[in-house]
Chains A and B, each alone.
Chain A
Amino acid sequence: MSGGAEAVLLGAAQCAFVLAAAPLLQGIIRKLKARLQSRSGPPVLQSYYDLAKLFSRSETVASTASIIQFAAPWVVLAAMLGAALFVPMFAAVTPLTSDGDLLVVIGLFALGRAALTLGGVDSGSSFGQMGSSRELAVGALVEPALLLSLAALAIATGTTRLGEMVAVGAHDGAGFVDLQWGLALLGLAIVTLAETGRIPVDNPDTHLELTMVHEAMLLEYSGRSLGVLHLASMVKQLLLACLLANLFFPFGLQGHPDLASYVVGAALLAGKTAVIGAAMALVESTVAKMRFFELPDLIGSASLAGLVAVAITVWQL
C-alpha cells in the first residue's frame, strides 16, 4: 500500500466486509447443510436476525462473574478485526503491509482464544471451564498445524507478509500447484475445521455436555455479549476461509490494484469463500464427529502434512 488514505479506506472496507459478510457465510453453510440432510433449514439470513435480536436483549450474568467475562467478548472481536487488517482479501495487498504478517495473524487468533477461554472460566460454571479446557487442548495441537501449513508457503515465497505471499502465488499461476501446496492445503483445511468448531472436531449445533467445546464456553453468556461472541466466531470462520481462498487459490488478485481490480477481487473472493463454505457443509454432513480424545490423530496429521510440506519446500530450495 502506498497512500495513507488508501490504507485507511482499504482497512475500513475489510473490517466492514468481514462484519457484514461473516453471518452470510454462516447462513449459507447452515442452509446447504440442511439441504444435504433433506431439511429445509433456516433462511440464509437467519444469522443476521439472531444477531439483531441478541444485540438488543438484556443480559443475565452469573453473580460470581468478574470484569473478565464482561471484557472478553470485546477483546475476542477486536482480535478478529485486528487480524482482518493483515489478511489479503480483494487484492494481493493488506492495509497494514509493514505492521504485521502471518505470524501476527496467528498471534491474534491466540489472543482471541485466550480471551474466550478466560471468559469461559470466569463464572465458575463447570461447563464454561470444561469448554475452555478442551478449547485450549485443541488449540495447542492446532497451533503447529496452522504455523507449518502457512510457513511452507512463506518459505517458498521468501516472505511472511500475506499480501506478498498471495502476489507471488498469483504471479506464478498454476506453476504454484505442487505436492507441498497440496499438503499445506490439507493442513490448513483441517485447521479450519478445528478452529471453526465444526464436525469432526466440535459440533456447532449441539448442547449436549459430553460433546460441547465452543458452545460450552458461551453458556454463561446472554444478550449482547453472546451476540458479539457469535459474531466474532463467524468473523474468524470467514478469515480462515479468506486465507484458504487467497493463499491457495490466488488467481485473479492484483499486487498493484486499481479500483476495477478491487471489484473483480471482491467478486472472486465471494465466489471462492462460498465454494469453501459449501465444502465445509459437505464435510459436516458426511463425516461423523470424532471422540474428543482421538482428535490428536486428526490434528496431528494436519501438523504432519504441514511439516512434510515444509520439508519438501526446503529440500527443493
Chain B
Amino acid sequence: MEQLTAAALILLLAASAVELSGLARGLRAGYWLSTGAAAVALAACVWLLADGTTVGLDLWSPAPSLDLTWRMTALGAFFGAVVALVALFASLFAVRYSQPRRLDDALYPLFVLSMLGVAGAGNVFTFFVMWESMALTSFLLVLSDGQGHQRRVAALLYLGMTHVATVFAVAAMLMLADTAGSQDFGAMGLAPAGPGARTSLALMLAVVGFGTKAGLVPVHIWLPRAHPVAPSHVSALMSAAMVTTGIYGITRVGFDFLGPGEEWWGIALMAVGGTTAVLGILYALMERDMKRCLAYSTVENMGIVTLAVGAALSFRSVGQDELAAAALVAGLLHTLNHAVLKSLLFLGAGAVQHAAHSLDMDRLGGLIRPMPVTAGTMLVGAMGLASAPPLNGFVGEWMLTRSLISLAGTGSGVATRLAAGGALALLALTAGLALACFVRLFGMTFLGVPRGEARPIREAPALMRLALGGLAVAALAAAAGAAGLVRLLQAVPQELMPGTGAHVEQAHRITLDGGGSFSPVVVAILLLVLAPLPWLVLRLTLGATRRNRGPVWATGVSFVPSMQYTATSFSKPLRLFFRRVLVPEREIKVEYHGTSPLPRRVQYSGRVPAVIEERLYLPLRSLAIWSAQRIRAFQNGSVEFYLLYVFGALVVLLVVAR
C-alpha cells in the first residue's frame, strides 16, 4: 500500500516536472501521467477503505516537531478516493481539451497532489502545508488562463477569502492540538475534546475556516466567481474535489477531534447546511452562464452534505451512534455522488464551450442534435443532480431524508427534533428547486433550437467523449451499486465511532433504522421494464402508428427561434415566487414619439443582485478600509519605531503566553 501511495506521488511530481521542462510538449505527457497517478491513487484509497487499515509514511522532517507525515486513515482515504476519481477523468479530458501553457500544465499535477495531501496529512503541520499548496496552485490556475478584469477580481477574492479562512482553520486546529497535547492527528483523535465552551469555539472556528472552502453561506461568495472562470477541467477539480476538503476538515474536527458534544452543534450545522442548500440552488436558477449555474449548485450540494454531518453530530450527541453512522454515510455518499455528477457536468460544459464557443444558456439550444453523446452523458449528470430516482443523486438524498425523519422521531431533545423537521422542509424545497434548475440547464442548452446565431457545431472529440462517458458510467454504477458503496463507506464511521454501523444495509438494499428501506437496483429494473412494456403492448395490440413531421405550432404564424423561452424567462416564475429572498431588480425604459401614445422603443434590463455580497461584505470592506486608514498612523517610516513595536509585541507575548 505504501508503494502505491508513493507511486502516485512520484507520478504527479514527474508530471509536473515534465510539463515544466517543456519536453514532449505535443504529447500532453503531464496529463497522461496525471491520469495514471489518479488511477493508482484511486486504487490505493479504495483498497484502504475496503481493508479498513491505516498506512503511514514519514516523508521529511525539516525541523523538530515539524514533520511532513502521510497517514491515510479511512476518512482520509474516502476523500482521497473522491479527489482521485475526479482527477482521473478531468486529466483524461484535459489531454484533448486544455490549451498548452507551460505554467498551468506544471501546476495542475501539483494541485491534484496537494488535494491528495490534504486528505492524507498525518499531522497539523503537514495538513496546512498541503492546504496552502492547494490554495496557491488553484489560485494560479484560476488566474493564469487568459486575461480579463473579472478573472483577476475573482482570483484575488478567492485568494483573500481562502487566507482569512485559513486563519480560522489554523486557530481551530492549534486549539485542539493544544488540548490533546500533540499535533499528530492520530493522537488528537485518541483524546477527543468533548463538550465545553472551548471546544465549541474550536468547532465554530473550524466551520468558518473549512466552510469557506466548502462554500457555505455566507462565506461562499468567492466560489461562484472563481470556479467558473478556470478552464473546465480545473473547474471540475475545484467544484467536485476541492470543496470536499472543506467537508473533510469539518468532519475530521467534528467527529474525530471533538467526540460526542453539545446538542446545539448539530442544530447549528443543520441550520447552516439547510440555508446554504436553499440559497445555493436559488441563485443557481438565476444564472444564465452554465458554469456559474453549476458553481452555485456546488454551494447547494455542500449545504446538503453539511446538513448530513450536522444530523450525524446530533445523533452522536445523544449517544445514538448507529444512526449517527447512517447519517454520516449519507453525507459521504452524497459527497461522492456529487463529485461524479458535478465533474461530469463541468467537463460537459467544457465540451459545449469547445463546440459552441459559448456558455450562455440564453443563446444556446438544440445541441442534442449535433452533440448526442455529450447530451446523453449530461442528461445523466443533470438528472442525477436533480435527484431523480433511480440515479445516484437520489440515493444519498434518500438516506439523508430518512435519517432526518428518524432524528425527528427518536430520543433526542425537542430542539433537535424540531430542527430536524425544519431541515426536512429545507431539504425538500432544495430538491424541488434542483429539479427545476437541472431541467432548465439541460433543456435550454440541448433542447429546442439555437437561440443565438446558428453556427455549424461538431460533437466533442473522442477523448473528451471518453471522459464524459466514463463519468456517466461511474454515475450509473454508483446508483446500481449503492448498497455496496454504503457497505464500503461503513469503514469511516467504524473508524470514527468504533463498534457502529455494521448493519445499515443488506444485499442490494439500504435499510435505515428498521423503518424504511430502498433498493436502487429494484427501482431501476422496475423502470426499465415498465417504460417499454406499455409501448410494446400498444404496438402489438393496436399496431404501429405513423409519425408525421411538421413545423412547431406557433398560433398560426411561422415559428422563429426567438419565440422560445430563454433560461432567464424559464426561471421567471421562481424569481417572482422568491422575490423577497432574491430581491430582483428590473428597469423598463419606454421612449415615445412626441405626444403619440405608441412607444418608439422599449428597453428592458434586469438582474438578480448578490444580496449577501452587497449587504454584508460591502460594509465589511468599508470597515476594513476605514481601520486601515487609522492603522496607518503607526506606519511612520521610521525604523526605530518599528523596532520598538517588535520589542513591545515580544514583551506582550512573553507576558501573555509565558
Give chain A's interface residues, CB within 8 Å of chain B: 55-64, 66-68, 71, 74-75, 77-79, 81-82, 85, 96, 98-101, 103-104, 107-108, 110-111, 113-114, 117-118, 121-127, 129-130, 132-134, 136-144, 146-148, 151, 154-156, 158-161, 164, 219-220, 223-224, 228, 292-293, 295-296, 303, 306-307, 310-311, 313-315, 317
Contacts and interface: CB of A to CB of B under 8 A. Distances in A.
A307 B509 contact: no
Interface in B187-219: none
Interface string B540-563: 001101111111111000010101
A144 B429 contact: yes
A177 to B, nearest CB: 20
Given A85-B526, A133-B573, A224 B409 contact: no
B264 interface: no
B436 to A, nearest CB: 4
Contacts of A118: 439, 442-443, 447
A129 B564 contact: yes
Given A67-B368, A137-B577, 6 more contacts: A60-B549, A98-B509, A103-B518, A104-B523, A224-B545, A310-B408
A77 B530 contact: yes
Interface in B393-448: 394, 398, 401-402, 405, 408-409, 414, 417-418, 420-422, 424-429, 431-433, 435-436, 439-440, 442-444, 447-448
A87 to B, nearest CB: 13
Interface stretch (B32-40, B162-170, B328-336, B381-389): B381-389
Nearest to B369: A66
B384 to A, nearest CB: 11
B516 A160 contact: yes
B517 A99 contact: yes
A103 B573 contact: no
A61 B577 contact: no
A134 B440 CA distance: 12
A237 B382 CA distance: 27
7 contacts: A56-B545, A64-B448, A66-B369, A121-B439, A121-B444, A133-B573, A134-B573
B414 A315 contact: yes
A174 to B, nearest CB: 22
B519 interface: yes
Interface in B356-371: 365-366, 368-369
Contacts of B534: 74, 77-78, 81, 228
Chain A binding site: helix, strand, loop or mixed by DSSP? helix
B8 to A, nearest CB: 38
Contacts of B515: 158-161, 164
B516 A140 contact: no
The 8 closest A-B pairs by CB, nearest first: A143-B432, A140-B432, A137-B573, A159-B515, A121-B443, A124-B448, A129-B565, A136-B436
A148 B425 CA distance: 7
A242 to B, nearest CB: 18
Contacts of A125: 552-554, 559, 564
A84 to B, nearest CB: 9
A224 B547 CA distance: 10
B150 interface: no
Contacts of B447: 66, 68, 118, 121-122, 124
B270 interface: no
B626 interface: no
A81 B405 CA distance: 26
Contacts of A129: 443, 448, 564-565, 570
A114 B386 contact: yes
B577 A314 contact: no
B471 interface: no
A227 to B, nearest CB: 9
Nearest to A97: B517
Contacts of A121: 439, 443-444, 447-448, 565
B538 A55 contact: yes
B439 A107 contact: no
B60 interface: no
B523 A62 contact: no
A159 to B, nearest CB: 4
Contact of A78 (B442, B448, B527): B527
Nearest to A113: B435
Contact of B417 (A57, A103, A317): A317
Given A114-B439, A124-B449, A98 B517 contact: yes
